[in-house]
Amino acid sequence: MTEPILSVRGMSKRFGGLQAVQDVSFDVTSGQIFGIAGPNGSGKSTLFNIITRVPFGANAGSVTLEGREMHRLRADAIALAGIGRTFQRENVFSALSAIDNVLVAVESQARALGFPQKVARAEKMLDLVGYPPTMHNMLAGNLPVYYRKLLMIASSLALKPRVLLMDEPASSLTGPEIDNMKEVILAIRGEGIAIVLIEHVLSLLMEVSDTLLVLDQGQVIAQGLPGDVIKDPEVVEAYLGGAYV
Amino acid sequence: MDAATLSSVLQGGIVLGALYALMATGLSLVWTTLGIFNFAHGAFIALGAYIAWQFSSVDAWGLPLFPAILLTLAVMFAVGALMYFLLVKPFERRADVVLISVITTLAASAILENGLLLIWGPRSKQIPSLGSGEVALGQISLATSEIILLALVLAILLGLGLFLRYARPGRIMRAVSQNREAAELLGLNVPLYFAIAFGLSAATAGLAGVFVGTIRFMNPEMGTEPLMKALIVVIFGGVARFSSPLYAAFIIGMLEAFSIYVLGLYWAPAVLFITMIVVLLLKPEGLFGNHQRTL
């Protein structure tokens, strides 16, 4: 069996009386797209939060990336170690230009490079996600949603992550944009980067995921091949209620 | 008002504007980066003046003035960074960080001012002037020290602006100020850049204190009134952008100089506060601001 690149073990997070994530464990192998589904409020984004420690860490559990413990590192050190993340909302530096957004990431990852090489790498990342060169100098805050999402992904890729956690990259997108986003996800996988993908657009999630994990009320209720998981009665009940089982 | 008086009032307004620009820039830098107001900014102004006096006065260590100013800037930067780690960082993840930082920075202000009193005593002090003599421009004559002060302030503010716009740490500080979460996810050590912002803010406040100390007598509360003026400038100009208070500072400086001439010294603060209230009523984000804070 292939060695996992990312191992998540027993991750839990409690907010007062609410157990948002409870004892979640999974492995991601190199180049894999690992899908995570679940109803609203099931703890998917909280799981990403506690893996990356942005904005908070876990109450219990561990994360290892290629055998290296991550859960004791600061958030910025986790990012530099190789766990990238994008948000559901377009989390960009709105008063910086698109190319400056990516440059910030390049500069934190490759300080020794000369400025022209840094710009070249930033441009390469933007090209990889299909961001138009004519829009490099536009302020990120003025970009349409789809391009802000691409920019956020390109910035994450500039850190050369081994694993990229993508939180609902297709949310708020039109049909054609979702199709483009699928190509972007596959292109990232083509670079050898493993992806953990949270997505409410189930068609996209089913098409690209190699493995699917379903969360409900903070707990894993199913994990396996997407085609099998989606038929699991517990998953159907979590999504549609008991009447449909 | 004859030409000589007008020239004198304008001169006073420009010098005041330059000093306010320096003070307000530091205050605005912390606000735009960390989202808090630093009420110890006035104490930083006084601390900078006393440290520069210690370095430069013939009654103390007697260094030449300009090396003394550079050393003061370095010490103030370190003090500012330390203050961030002591007063703000422990609370920055709390929802009520804005309120807590009001208390912690006010406490720091009281501690610093009393510390100054304890170390340097109550007797008034003055830093040697930046220059002596006057320069005649036609019928107008300008004090050399004021010309040097103005040139230094403009050069420093320009340098700070260029640093934030083009230098790598400046670009990162702008990024950190706009979106902390995204910055952390891009591998940026956010507390380090917050500490740099606090350090730069303290250094500019200290420099303003040095300049004030060259034209007025110093005392430990010398930063209180400038802090009020810096607050007026920042609110008047808008707290949203780094550059907004710069324009506002010169407008407020001029307004104060003319108010003093026309209405007298005691009415000038009232004029400034009324102006600030009117601006808050008509344009709450400030004359040059917008609703989103960013460097």
Please give the Cα distance from A91 to A180 (Å, whole number): 20
Q: Residue A174, Cα to own-chain centre: how many angstroms?
A: 20
The pLDDT value given to residue B166: 85
Report the pLDDT averaged over residues B241-254: 85
Helix/strand/coil for A28: strand
In order of start, what are the domains of chain A with their CATH numbers? 1-82+161-245 (3.40.50.300), 89-160 (no CATH)
* B1 inside 8 A of chain A by CB: no
Interface of B with A in 153-182 (CB under 8 A): 168, 171-172, 174-175, 178-179, 181-182
Report the pLDDT averaged over residues B174-187: 90
Q: Is the pLDDT of residue B290 over 90?
A: no
Place of tokens 């100098």: A137
Cβ neighbours of B9 (radius 10 Å): 17
Do the Cβ atoms of A163 and A28 come closer than 8 Å?
Answer: yes
The pLDDT value given to residue A181: 96
Which candidate in A104, A119, A125 is best for mutational testing of the B interface (most B CBs within 10 A)?
A104
Mean pLDDT of all residues belonging to chain B: 90
DSSP state of B40: T
Please give the Cα distance from B72 to B70 (Å, whole number): 5
Percentage of residues of chain B with pLDDT beyond 90:
67
Q: Could you give the angle at the alpha carbon of A109 between the alpha carbons of B196 and B82, nearest 5°?
A: 20
| pLDDT tens-digit readout, A50-89 | 999 998 999 999 999 999 999 889 999 999 999 999 998 8
Report the pLDDT averaged over residues B45-53: 97
The pLDDT value given to residue A239: 75
* B200 inside 8 A of chain A by CB: no
The pLDDT value given to residue A245: 45
Q: Is the pLDDT of residue B291 over 60?
A: no
Q: Is the pLDDT of residue B295 over 70?
A: no
For A164, name the nearest residue in chain B, comparing CA atoms only.
B185
User: Residue B212: CA atoms inside 13 Å, Cβ hemisphere, count?
Assistant: 33
Number of H-type helices and E-type strands within chain A = 9, 10
Q: Check the CA dihedral A46-B34-B221-B264 and report its sign.
A: negative
Q: Is the pLDDT of residue B26 over 80?
A: yes
Sorting pLDDT into bands at 50, 70 and 90, what band is B133?
confident
Which candidate in B32, B179, B185 is best for mutational testing of the A interface (most A CBs within 10 A)?
B185
Q: Is the pLDDT of residue B57 over 90?
A: yes
Do the Cβ atoms of B19 and B206 come closer than 8 Å?
Answer: no
Nearest to A94 among B178, B184, B186 (CB): B178
Ranges of chain A whose pLDDT falls below 70: 1, 240-245
Q: What is the ipTM of this complex?
A: 0.85
Helix/strand/coil for A180: helix
* B290 inside 8 A of chain A by CB: no
Please give the Cα distance from B198 to A133 (Å, whole number): 37
